[in-house]
Structure 1
Amino acid sequence: MSFSVRRRGFARALVGIAIATVMLPAPLASATTGSDAGSTGSLQSSGLADAVNPDWMGRLPDGAGLAGLSLPGTHDTMASGASVFAQTQDADLPSQLRAGVRAVDIRTRHFRNVFPIHHGVEYLNSNFTDVVVALTDFLSAHPTESIVMRLKEEYTPAENTRSYADTLNWYIDENPGTRDRLREHLWRPSAGYSGGLPRLGEARGKIVVLRDFDAVAWPGPRFGDASMAIQDTYELTGPADIGRKWELIRAQFERARTGSPDILFINHLSATGNPAALVTGTVPVTVARGVPGVVGILPRTEEYLKADGPGRLGAVMADFPTAELVTEIIEQNFR
């Protein structure tokens, strides 16, 4: 397929997004304009960019296992500033890290032997080098911290002359913009590694990759292997289906509280109405914050955490997390 044909196809997709945004159904239009919005439905800022929790892992002992912690996380971490159907965050990556986020979801398309960052078809105006620079700048300034990074191959590969794993190794070993940074800050298992996530002492100042791509040999845990338990039901039929999603989230929290500390429980608060989002108005922001008459996932989660007492939560992957939610998840590690 020629570049001009691909470009026309992408342009048509953007036109479709623009038209869909103009023709928003009532629930989404209310969320977008902020009308009838109290605790739900508004596109007001989450306030996450104003939160300051940059060194909270420094309060934990080296012997603490990463899998046994409560980790604030973001789903589709780089999707701030995207279209209304793809946007999942309103704070950039440095702001998320400063606020206390320690589990990130990085989705890379393999295109022309490099990694542009995508959410599905939509390019998010950043590339893997930008991610590496942000993560390693933060870890250099805050060496007590560790970042768990799901690295996922996203959308359709095109015009490559090598495998995804080979391109990743190029970033690690050859690319001048990332090689020195990753040599210092990429966690590699020590001899005798038997699976799972490391202890915090071993992982301080490091990025721990959860591999969500094909590779013949890649050291460390694979996303979804036996060292993890994942809740990621992400397609809803409409706003009324948010209650069903919440029950899945709540059940995963309960499993994390009682499960093995060696298993990383990953709980996605995120969901959307694909493929019927245009019809129902069920997009990431309406699921997260709710619409008039339907309480969103974020206020349900905040209420649950305040009422249910202490306990390990695992990695909590949220869309548009508030400063209050991130702080509450962090504090679960010290109660």
Structure 2
Amino acid sequence: MTGKAFAAGVKAVLRAAVVVLIAALLGVAMTRNPLRLPGVVAVPLGPAFRARPRERSRTMNRAGVSARWGGRGETFTPPITIRAPPPEVSCMTINRRTLLRSAALAATTGALGLAASGAPASAAPDRLVHRPTNKWMSLLGDNVKLSQLTIPGTHETCALYDGGAFGYAQCQEWRIPQQLQAGVRFLDIRCRVMGDVFTIHHDKIYQKINFGDVLNQCIDFLKSNPRETIIMRIRKEYTEGQDYRFSEIFNYYMDGMDGKGNYRPWFWLPRAGSLPEGLPTLGQVRGKIIPIMSDFTWGDGRYDPLRWGDGSRIWLQDYFGDGSSQKVQRVKWGLDQAFYGQDDGKLYIHFASASSFPEDPYKIAKVVNPSIQDYLTPRISQRAHYGVIAMDFVDERKDLLQMIVDWNFGL
């Protein structure tokens, strides 16, 4: 043992004495576990038995290079940055000093028998905390805008019946009450003019439910969950022309004419000329249905609802002629657009549905829906919002619905 090594050993003993003294002053008991006692000696006396200076220098250089390569080699699926990194994301650079400091702290803690407190040792949770899907909006603040949410939705919400279309007309298994309980807050309602009522269709196939039934089911849910809101696309389906007639019947539903219920109080309908810049906050629409008018012009001069083609407030991906592989790429592209448009105040609406022979909606959903989860999973630590994600056969991916709901709360 050289003189330098002996001197280092003396310093180490003095350090150990200081550690014991500090522990006594703080009231921290030394461990009595014999398996940990060697650590009390090994940590402070280590410098006395180190390698020769040249070998030590080479070892530490290798460690430094390895640490730098390790930091650079971490993989992350793009997009990898957001304008305002959340506090959970650490931008710390790993270097040799950081590694040595962490190792010394860990060894000292083990030697003293100290137990870590608070969060687990992992740097960040590997999954989101589950929220109740039937009332998840009620847990968010009133000042949160609609454009700042990630919302589960369904395409062809009421299309439960195939009607001999060889699998190409059915898009869902769950009825509206089940969908709402599972967290769905965007409904795609297709109305056909039949006499003086709206029947719900997928193209020419009647889905054995009328518009009044849809509204009653939504209102029952809102009565039980008054701090939730429902976004409803109302589209004219299998009805050529008749724009005036369609608007007239819609007014019947709003004002309770011809024996229909008075549904207007349940709708968020801003006065003409008063539609707010961007989109409303949750506090403005709780307990309401937010209609988005599609493929027909409605207005009685008093109200000015959201409209499907309003590019200043709505960004839309609704391409339905893709096969499964093309649709996967299109959905991912749309989610990327939402990521980079975090501050534009628009509601992004992504349809994950498609139908292209020989793939029917069910076959495509079996491929596309899991790909959405694959897209979101590596981005959990990013506090991005993606808008509406409207899917087919959501009953088969309850975990995906839960994930989208939880997304609004971060880690």
| Structure 2 residue 364 is the aligned partner of structure 1 residue 287 | yes
CA distance in 2, matches of 1:221, 1:162: 18
Corresponding residue for 2:214?
A: 131
- Whether the aligned pair in 1 keeps the contact of 2:243 and 2:296 (CA below 8 Å) is no
| Structure 2 residue 400 is the aligned partner of structure 1 residue 314 | no
| Structure 2 residue 406 is the aligned partner of structure 1 residue 324 | no
CA distance in 2, matches of 1:199, 1:318: 24
CA distance in 1, matches of 2:243, 2:321: 34
Q: Using a 3 Å threshold, how does the CA distance of structure 1 residues 300 and 137 change in structure 2: closer, same or farther? A: same
Structure 1 position 85, deviation (Å): 1.3
| Structure 2 residue 170 is the aligned partner of structure 1 residue 72 | no
- Equivalent residue runs for 1:141-160 within 5 Å: 141-157=224-240
CA distance in 2, matches of 1:324, 1:161: 40
Structure 1 position 184, deviation (Å): 2.8
- Equivalent residue runs for 1:178-217 within 5 Å: 179-180=261-262, 182-190=263-271, 192-194=274-276, 196-215=278-297, 217=299
Question: Which of these residues, 314, 318, 328, is aligned with residue 232 of structure 1?
Answer: 318
Give TM-score scaled by structure 2 length. Answer: 0.62
Corresponding residue for 2:21?
A: none
Structure 1 position 67, deviation (Å): 1.9
- Equivalent residue runs for 1:16-27 within 5 Å: none
Q: Using a 3 Å threshold, how does the CA distance of structure 1 residues 139 and 329 change in structure 2: closer, same or farther? A: same
SS of aligned partner of 1:326: helix
Instruction: Give the AA of the match of 2:388.
Output: A
Structure 1 position 156, deviation (Å): 2.5
CA distance in 1, matches of 2:352, 2:335: 11
Q: Using a 3 Å threshold, how does the CA distance of structure 1 residues 161 and 297 change in structure 2: closer, same or farther? A: closer
Q: Using a 3 Å threshold, how does the CA distance of structure 1 residues 330 and 62 change in structure 2: closer, same or farther? A: same
CA distance in 2, matches of 1:169, 1:192: 20
Corresponding residue for 1:242?
A: 324
C-alpha RMSD of the superposition: 2.1
Structure 1 position 94, deviation (Å): 0.3
Q: Using a 3 Å threshold, how does the CA distance of structure 1 residues 93 and 151 change in structure 2: closer, same or farther? A: same
- Whether the aligned pair in 2 keeps the contact of 1:93 and 1:134 (CA below 8 Å) is yes
Structure 1 position 175, deviation (Å): 4.1
Deviations 1:187-239 (A, max 9, x none): 12157324543110010000000010322525211012121111111113xxx
Q: Using a 3 Å threshold, how does the CA distance of structure 1 residues 175 and 52 change in structure 2: closer, same or farther? A: farther
| Structure 2 residue 183 is the aligned partner of structure 1 residue 100 | yes
Q: Using a 3 Å threshold, how does the CA distance of structure 1 residues 100 and 67 change in structure 2: closer, same or farther? A: same
Corresponding residue for 2:373?
A: 302
Structure 1 position 157, deviation (Å): 4.9
Range 171-180 or range 134-143, more displaced = 171-180
Corresponding residue for 2:353?
A: 270
Deviations 1:128-154 (A, max 9, x none): 011000000000110010000000000
Q: Using a 3 Å threshold, how does the CA distance of structure 1 residues 255 and 272 change in structure 2: closer, same or farther? A: same
SS of aligned partner of 1:251: helix
CA distance in 2, matches of 1:178, 1:331: 37
Q: Using a 3 Å threshold, how does the CA distance of structure 1 residues 177 and 330 change in structure 2: closer, same or farther? A: farther
CA distance in 1, matches of 2:192, 2:198: 5
SS of aligned partner of 2:372: helix
Structure 1 position 161, deviation (Å): 11
In our comparison, the structure showing a higher alpha carbon Rg is: 2
Identical-residue share of aligned pairs (%): 33
SS of aligned partner of 1:61: coil
Q: Using a 3 Å threshold, how does the CA distance of structure 1 residues 216 and 269 change in structure 2: closer, same or farther? A: closer
Instruction: Give 5+ residue unaligned stretches, structure 1.
Output: 1-50, 290-295
CA distance in 2, matches of 1:150, 1:249: 19
Range 82-91 or range 64-73, more displaced = 82-91
Corresponding residue for 2:334?
A: 252
Q: Using a 3 Å threshold, how does the CA distance of structure 1 residues 250 and 177 change in structure 2: closer, same or farther? A: farther
- Whether the aligned pair in 1 keeps the contact of 2:235 and 2:296 (CA below 8 Å) is no
Structure with greater contact order relative to length (CA < 8 Å, sep ≥ 6): 1
Corresponding residue for 1:44?
A: none
Deviations 1:151-173 (A, max 9, x none): 00001259x79611110000110
Instruction: Give the AA of the match of 1:302.
Output: Q
